[in-house]
Structures are given as C-alpha cells and as structure tokens.
Amino acid sequence: MRSVIDILDLSTEEIDDLIKTACDIIDDPDKYAEKCKRKKLATLFFEPSTRTRLSFEAAMYELGGNVIGFSAANNSSASKGESVSDTVKTVSCYADIIAMRHPKEGAPLVASMAASVPIINAGDGGHNHPTQTLADLLTIYREKGRFDNLTIGLCGDLKFGRTVHSLINAMSRYNGIEFVLISPEELKLPDYVTNNVLKKKNIPYTETTDLLSCMSELDILYMTRVQRERFFNEQDYIRLKDSYILTPDKLETAKDDLAVMHPLPRVNEISVAVDNDKRACYFKQVLNGKYMRMALIMKLLGVE
C-alpha cells in the first residue's frame, strides 16, 4: 500500500508515466470508464476546497467508481474531538483510497501511518499540495513540451503557498531550471525550502519584489493568492493582499510563449482581462488536475 504525501514520493519516471496515462485518458476517456468499478474514494476535507475536492470526485466518477466523504471538519466527528488517526482508521473500513486536506501541516502524513488504505495529500496547511503539482506538471508538459531549461517566476505568497513549495520540489529534479522568486519581504520563500532544496541542489534563483523587472526573462509565470486564512493579523493581510495584480499591460514585455499559471482560487492577483490572453493557462490547469488525479487514483489502487 502506497500513499502520496509529498510530490517527491513519486519519482520522475513515475511522473512521466502518470502524464502518459493522463494524455491517454484525454485521447480516449471511454477506455477508462470502468477502471475503478466498485471502488470507493473518500474525500476528507477539513479545510474548504472547490477544485481539489470536486476534481477528485469527478475523477473517481469518470473511472466508474464511487465517492463518500465530508467537505468540512464541522460535518464530521472531528468537531467532537476525534483524532485524524481515528478518523482515517474508521474511513479505511469504508473506502479503498482517501484524499485528505487539512489545515495542519503534517496531518496527511500522520493519517498515512494510521490508515490501511492509500492516503493522498490534498493540501496540508502552508506545507505541500502534491496533486496540484501534478496538475501543474501536466500543464507545463502540454504548454512547453519539456521540463528542462525553463525560467520559472513564482509570484505572490511564497511563504505560505503550499503549491509553490511542491512545485519547486518537483521542478528542482530537472536540468537547466532557474527560479525567480517574486514576493514582498514578509512573504519570501521559507528558509527550509531555500536551504534544503535550492541551495542544496545548486539551483540558480534570484529574489525580487519587482514583477515587471523580470517579466521578459520568464518561460512560466506562476501567480499565487495572498492567503487570508494563513495570517494571524488581519492588518498584515490587508497591507499585503494586493502586492501584485497582473494586468494585460504588464504582459507587454513578456515572451509570446509565456505560460501564465495560477493554482486558483484567485482574488485580485490576475485581472479577468488577462483570461483572454492566449498565454493564460490557469483554467487549463483546472482540467489537467482532473486527468492527473484519475491517473494517480488508478496507480495507487494498482489498476492496470
């Protein structure tokens, strides 16, 4: 039995295989319509979600399986004080695989040690979000045709942005990757990522507060939301929330084949006027997430 808690739980070869499967699903979805017949996915979401929960559920239905679960901690016995371990031991009696989101960093890892079925981390606090990274990787593959030799700008909340942390881990395994880290001082990438990943692997990176100054260098611009739910102080959130707002005029110096990505939800950080730009890829990411989650569910269930 195998869980996916961190994107590094999957080798680059396994990611290549998942991408191959996802592309095959896109080409021939009918072939996969009964692959998970009589299997059940449990979605245990202790924190709000639109894309991740619904795409996991859509993925399982499109594989012919069924879904049980809850969408908020207060709809479960966690509200009565039940531990994460007891919750997943219980749900292991009902489901073949569990996708779990939790506001506390490390909760899905704890769950994976107690569960008797595979656990997929669907986002843990400001830590990791490996299945968003799978969606991001399929998007990069389909838009750029490669994972090597890319300059990737990461913009916004790099401190609490779990999608950013997972994407850095994933992309750091390829050759010729360079990161431009664009954030306010207060939301810089945590030292544990800078030191344990970028410095340790000698990956070139620059830190800046100025998005426009680096726009022309980027192959990928990955925008992120400043996350109100991660702040202890509302005044800090209000001060920082509109640090970066991508508008069409700011893309004037950008490459023609730039991929503008965002894990969503967005608030103000990308103007809706950018949605019509051919370089906007964020709704493609949403759809790619469903296909990669289908591929991952099959892999963890041992479905051929």
Indicate which residues carry an active-site annotation. 51-52, 80, 101, 129
Q: How far apart are the first and last CA of the chain?
A: 15
How far apart (Å, rounded) are the C-alpha atoms in residues 182 and 222?
10
Please tell me whether residue 72 binds ligand CP under the rule CB under 6 A.
no
Window contacting ligand CP (CB under 6 A); options: 44-52, 76-84, 85-93, 227-235: 44-52
For ligand CP, the closer of residues 126 and 263 by Cβ is 263
Please tell me whether residue 263 binds ligand CP under the rule CB under 6 A.
yes
For ligand CP, the closer of residues 76 and 227 by Cβ is 227
Smallest distance from ligand CP to CB 285, Å: 8
| Identified binder of ligand CP from the candidate list 50, 79, 149, 216, rule CB under 6 A | 50
**Contact present, 223 and 261 (Cβ < 8 Å):** yes
Please tell me whether residue 151 binds ligand CP under the rule CB under 6 A.
no
**Contact present, 170 and 137 (Cβ < 8 Å):** yes
Window contacting ligand CP (CB under 6 A); options: 15-23, 46-54, 78-86, 142-150: 46-54
Question: What secondary structure does DSSP assign to the chain, as a single string?
Answer: ---BSSGGGS-HHHHHHHHHHHHHHHH-GGGGTTTTTT-EEEEEESS--SHHHHHHHHHHHHTT-EEEEESSGGGSGGGGT--HHHHHHHHTTT-SEEEEEESSTTHHHHHHHH-SS-EEEEEETTTB-HHHHHHHHHHHHHHHS-SSS-EEEEES-TTT-HHHHHHHHHHTTSTT-EEEEE--GGGPPPHHHIIIIIITTT--EEEES-HHHHGGG-SEEEE----GGG-S-HHHHHHHTTS--B-GGGGTTS-TT-EEE--S--SSSB-GGGGGSTTB-HHHHHHHHHHHHHHHHHHHHT--
Please tell me whether residue 121 binds ligand CP under the rule CB under 6 A.
no
Window contacting ligand CP (CB under 6 A); options: 20-28, 203-211, 263-271, 276-284: 263-271
Please tell me whether residue 264 binds ligand CP under the rule CB under 6 A.
yes
**Contact present, 26 and 189 (Cβ < 8 Å):** no
Smallest distance from ligand CP to CB 49, Å: 3
Smallest distance from ligand CP to CB 246, Å: 17
Instruction: Please give the size of the binding site for ligand CP, defined by CB under 6 A.
Output: 9
Window contacting ligand CP (CB under 6 A); options: 7-15, 50-58, 90-98, 296-304: 50-58
Smallest distance from ligand CP to CB 130, Å: 11
Please tell me whether residue 267 binds ligand CP under the rule CB under 6 A.
no
Please tell me whether residue 287 binds ligand CP under the rule CB under 6 A.
no
**Contact present, 100 and 122 (Cβ < 8 Å):** yes
Please tell me whether residue 49 binds ligand CP under the rule CB under 6 A.
yes
Smallest distance from ligand CP to CB 149, Å: 26
Window contacting ligand CP (CB under 6 A); options: 32-40, 146-154, 186-194, 260-268: 260-268
Residues 201-240 within binding reach of ligand CP (CB under 6 A): none
Please tell me whether residue 128 binds ligand CP under the rule CB under 6 A.
no
Q: Which residues contact ligand CP by CB under 6 A? A: 49-52, 123, 132, 263-265
